[in-house]
Amino acid sequence: MFQPLVIKDLVAKVPIIQGGMGIGISLSNLAGHVAKEGGIGVLSTAQIGYNTPNFEKSPLRANWQAIEDEFKKAKEIAKGGIVGFNIMAAQFQYDKIVKHAASIGADVIISGAGLPVNLPELVEGTKTKIAPIVSSAKGAKVLLKTWAKRYSRTADFVVIEGPKAGGHLGFKAEDLQSATENMDAEVIKIVEIVNEFAEQFNEKVPVIFAGGVFTKEDIEHYLSLGCSGVQMATRFVATTECDAPEDFKNRYVQAKEEDIEILKSPVGMPGRALKNDFSKRIKTEKIPIEKCRDCLSHKHCDRKTIPYCISEALLHSVRGNTENGLLFAGANVYRVDKITSVKELIAELTN
């Protein structure tokens, strides 16, 4: 058995965080069940209300309400377990959304896709614990230095996302190979940096590794490098409790290694996904936006020049059009061979 993951007054029996997955992949059912089994369940705020009646008419309003509704449902399922949100720094109205999530009692907020420089001030006065997602020692240092200087505090925990993760990646496409080879050394460096800042504030700051974690041995490996836990996403997609439609999950089970590719995302980062008609199309075509649902800030998405709309692409894949949608997945998706329950998966990973 592993040691529990302790983040200040929060104690997760199992040192596994289920990574936030938008759009519509990690909602209340998945997050609630992971939390119930002792891990940390994470809702993604990306178009979180996509499945509610008012979404197409008023996406921002529907998402606002769904943040509350999904959190409440997840907490009910979790029966005292830890539930929080993944909120991308690139999200439209990031500040407002973080404040909203913290005000309704989010246990944790994890923010990547850009450096969440002002995250501390957005949760001030609440009990919400915060973590940036970083991919390099340099990024970790810059952010923690900024937080120390500006807010006289450090992170409550830090998530390192390596090059094998699903979704957007914090590496240039051409650097993925070398980053994969050097990641262990980078993890050790990041743990050192985090510990320096932790000491400065007389705190313990757990470091969590994400990206390609698949087995119990993988978890043991990252603990041996100085991490206190892992964040996993791909394996949680292939669970009965995952909020993704069956078709999406089946794509994971059927995926072979050659079905995975690195795509260009309109956010300006590379993304890892499964090959399909959509991934073929975007190589040669610019796909016009049908309608902007304000998912990303204007700084991160130029509505006029983007090659395709990330929300539309992700919405297709959860609305039964998996061939024409973006199917984010981690580098180890080809090793997924069945759909299991969250309980069985956590037992396999910890026993």
Report whether the peptide linkage leading into residue 23 is cis, meaning its omega lies within 30 degrees of zero: yes
In DSSP terms, which residues pair with 132 in a beta bridge? 111
With b meaning 16 or more CB within 10 Å and e meaning fewer, what string describes 176-191? beebbeebeebbebbb
Minimum CB distance to ligand FMN smaller for 55 or for 148: 55
Q: How far apart are CA 42 and CA 30, in angstroms?
A: 8
Q: Which stretch binds ligand FMN (CB under 6 A): 15-23, 135-143, 253-261, 294-302?
A: 15-23
> What is the pattern of x (binds ligand FMN, CB under 6 A) and - over residues 58-97?
----------------------------x-x---------
- Supply the minimum distance, in Å, between the C-beta of residue 73 and ligand FMN: 19
**Helical ranges in the chain per DSSP H:** 28-36, 59-78, 94-103, 119-122, 137-151, 176-200, 216-224, 234-237, 246-254, 277-284, 310-318, 342-350
- Supply the minimum distance, in Å, between the C-beta of residue 335 and ligand FMN: 10
Q: How far apart are CA 99 and CA 57, in angstroms?
A: 24
**Contacting residues for 185 by C-beta, under 8 A, at least 6 apart:** none
Is there binding between residue 263 and ligand FMN (CB under 6 A)?
Answer: no
Is there binding between residue 22 and ligand FMN (CB under 6 A)?
Answer: yes
**What is the number of other CB atoms lying within 10 angstroms of the CB of residue 192?**
13
Is there binding between residue 211 and ligand FMN (CB under 6 A)?
Answer: yes
DSSP string, 28-48: HHHHHHHHHTTSEEEEE-TTT
Find the binder of ligand FMN among 5, 12, 16, 20 (CB under 6 A): 20
Q: Which stretch binds ligand FMN (CB under 6 A): 16-24, 75-83, 96-104, 199-207?
A: 16-24
- Binding residues among 102-161 for ligand FMN as defined by CB under 6 A: 112-113, 133, 161
Find the binder of ligand FMN among 15, 59, 81, 212 (CB under 6 A): 212
CA angle 132, 63, 306 (to 5 degrees): 70
- Supply the minimum distance, in Å, between the C-beta of residue 169 and ligand FMN: 9
Residue 295 and residue 97 in contact, taking contact as beta carbons nearer than 8 Å: no
Find the binder of ligand FMN among 15, 19, 59, 139 (CB under 6 A): 19
Q: How far apart are CA 190 and CA 188, in angstroms?
A: 6
Q: How far apart are CA 204 and CA 48, in angstroms?
A: 32
Is there binding between residue 234 and ligand FMN (CB under 6 A)?
Answer: yes
Gap between the terminal Cα atoms of the chain: 6
Q: Which stretch binds ligand FMN (CB under 6 A): 74-82, 119-127, 150-158, 328-336?
A: 328-336
Minimum CB distance to ligand FMN smaller for 81 or for 167: 167
CA 266 to chain centre: 18
Total residues binding ligand FMN (CB under 6 A)? 29
Find the binder of ligand FMN among 15, 59, 139, 166 (CB under 6 A): 166
Find the binder of ligand FMN among 144, 165, 205, 313 (CB under 6 A): 165
Q: Which stretch binds ligand FMN (CB under 6 A): 8-16, 226-234, 277-285, 335-343?
A: 226-234
| 54 backbone φψ class: left, alpha, beta (φ>0; ψ -120 to 50) | alpha
Q: How far apart are CA 74 and CA 52, in angstroms?
A: 16
Q: Which stretch binds ligand FMN (CB under 6 A): 101-109, 216-224, 231-239, 281-289?
A: 231-239
Find the binder of ligand FMN among 157, 263, 330, 345 (CB under 6 A): 330
Minimum CB distance to ligand FMN smaller for 134 or for 306: 134
Is there binding between residue 5 and ligand FMN (CB under 6 A)?
Answer: no
Binding site for ligand FMN (CB under 6 A): 19-22, 25, 44, 46, 86, 88, 112-113, 133, 161, 164-167, 210-213, 231-234, 328-330, 332
